Structure formats: structure tokens, C-alpha cells
Amino acid sequence: MSYSGPGPEPSHPRRSPLRRPLTVAVAALAAGGLLGWGVYAAVGGGDEGRAASAAPSGGAASPDDDAKRPAGSSPSPGTKSPSPSASGPLKGKVVVIDPGHNPGNFQHASEINRQVDIGTHRKECDTTGTATNAGWPEAEFTLDVAHRLRTLLQEQGATVKLTQDGDRPYGPCVDERARIGNEARADAAISIHADGSGAGNRGFHVILPGAVHGGGADTRPIVAPSAELGERVAGNFLRTTGSAPSNYLGDGTGLVTRTDLGGLNLSTVPKVFIECGNMRDDKDVALLTSGTWRQKAAQGMSEGIVSFLRG
């Protein structure tokens, strides 16, 4: 997901009195969860994953072998996903996982370029997302991590729904992605991405919905619970992966607020985006292409969601 596009966010910070800047150590995050995380309404701009320029065939690493065999993944799109555990702390809870983009979007330019209403304005149905310099697409990364996360949450008893599982030719559009979570009455929803920023820009960040009230969008009821969800995901992601918060967005907090993303604007359930790293930075790519690291990433997301849903 790249940030080169219209609609920049205000650069002034929006801080809640319940949140402080990120000054605690990883150990404190493990013990105290989210109390050390602050929210920063950083410059957003961009879209929900603007297509990167054609990726060169050389450069950064390609994903290791288990990229195509993620834990909990289906051998083929039609294979039935695992069932939730009969018992567990998340029994009765519904989680929607939104794997950003779709591997087939590249072949459906006209369909994904059509405009949809996201409340504040109109924008593309979807985009191709970015890719590593070696050509591994963001859409493959997001689906891999989504499968891993699904398995972990189902082991905790949750009912899990994916917005897409490589089982459709393109999309869904950003408005439909939000609608899937709304219609499922999800207790929590998370959209998984990787960024396409410049080399040297590193780290993860979690995107929180800002207050939007216009057109078909009204995020006001979900701003506070989404912020809590995002803080818990960010804290646990840092702890499990050891990855640092973004050095180019979020003022070092790993948290960014945006009002230009349809997947957040149109959501009526608590929802966040996570940008797991930068696919155009070699050091981040070494992590993103590692199956071991991706499992840690899914674990961090899972623990954050479990923490949020258990209260």
C-alpha cells in the first residue's frame, strides 16, 4: 500500500488523554499492553494501496518456500477453512480479516479503477497494491498472513471471515470490504497490508479511522473502540515481531489516523489497517519474505485482537 496520492491528512496531532507517547520498552508493552502508545494524525495522502510501478526483476529477496504454504492456509481457494474451536476465550466472537488487494487485480484494470463512494469523496474500487523489487506482490503477502491469523483466531474459538480468499477474479472494492465486516456484525476487523514507500523508510504502523460524517460514512461510533483495537494490535505486534514502529509516519508511535480510506470510513464495526513493513526497503523485505517472521506477525495481530475482545 503506497502513500503517493490525493487527500493528505492534517499534520497536527490528535492525542487522547488516555494515551501517551511510545516511551516504554518492549518488556513493558508485554506486561502493560497499550498504555505506552500514542496516536498521531500523520500526513496520510495516498490511497488504499496505489499500484506500484512495474517491479524490476532483480534486487530484493523473493519469499522463502513456505510463502506458498502458510500455517492454516488452504491448499487451494476452494478448500474449506478450519473450524473454530468448540471452546476458547473468543467463543461467540466474530472477526473479519481483510487481506489487502487481490492477486488478480493486475488483470482487471478497468474494474478496479472504477470509482466508488467512500463517504468523503469517490475513489478507485481497489488497486493492485505494491510489490517487492523482486516482484513478490503485496496481495500474496496479505493473503498469506491472513491465513495464518485466521488459524490462530479460530484456535481461540472465534468465528473468522475473510473478505477474499483468492477465490474471486479481482477485488472486492473497498466499499464492499467494509460492508462484509458490517454485515457480519464483526466484533473486530483488521485489514492487512504492506507499504510501498521509499527505500530507507522502515517499520510498521497501524492506521486508525478518524472522525468522518458525510455521505454514507459515519465513523464517530467506532473511532474510540478502533483506537483501542489499534493500540493493542500495535503493542503486541511490536512485542512478537521485534519490528520497530515506522520511522516515516506516526511520529514514532506506530499509530496513524486517516480519513481518506474507504475500508475505514464505511465501517460500522471497530476496524484498523496494519502496514506490516515497507516492501521497497531491503531490510524490511528480509522480514516480510520470511515465513517465520510472518507467523510472528500473525501472532502479534492475534494477541492484540484477543486482548481487545476480552477487554
138 contacts 51 by C-beta, under 8 angstroms = no
| Residues with catalytic roles | 275
Cell of 84: 473454530
235: helix, coil or strand?
helix
CA distance 68 to 70: 6
The string of DSSP letters for 65-88 reads GGGGS-TT--SSTTSPPPPPPSSS
Q: Name the residue among 244, 135, 148, 147 with its Cα closest to residue 196.
A: 135
CA distance 304 to 188: 11
Other CB atoms within a 10 A radius of the CB of residue 107 amount to: 12
Residues in the chain: 311
Q: Where are the beta strands (DSSP E) in 72-224?
A: 94-99, 115-117, 122-124, 159-162, 188-195, 205-209, 213-214, 217-218
